[in-house]
Amino acid sequence: MPTVTYVLPDGSNQTITTTPSTSVMQAALAHRVPGIIGECGGAATCGTCHVYLDESTESFLPPGEDEEAMLEWTASPRKDNSRLACQLKPAGDAQLVVRVPEEQQ
């Protein structure tokens, strides 16, 4: 099963074992990870699940058109490794690491 480690702005972290069909946003909400809000339920229209992906831990297809557009409107600055957690579903035995931004709204 994949795991996702959420690194919080204060430097603490929380690691969750999830399933391949669960998005990084859904896993965060199910385990009450602070800073991941997921206001739109995964439709890529709110930007409140913005994370910085540690690309050395897992690679995904590049953001789609909707995700690209939404990443321009996130509360914390967009970086090269910015992703919407609702669009990321780790596969297999991935050990994914994401950083939660300071602000989400």
User: How far from 65 is each of 11, 44, 69, CA to CA, in Å?
Assistant: 32, 10, 6
Structure tokens at 91: 């596969």
Q: Which of 47, 51, 52, 61 is nearest to 91 (CA)?
A: 61
Site string for ligand FES, 46-85 (x = CB under 6 A): xxxx--------------------x-------------x-
Among the residue ranges 12-20, 44-52, 53-61, 89-97, the one whose residues contact ligand FES (CB under 6 A): 44-52
Please report how close the Cβ of residue 62 comes to ligand FES at its closest, in angstroms. Answer: 16
42 sits near ligand FES (criterion: CB under 6 A) = yes
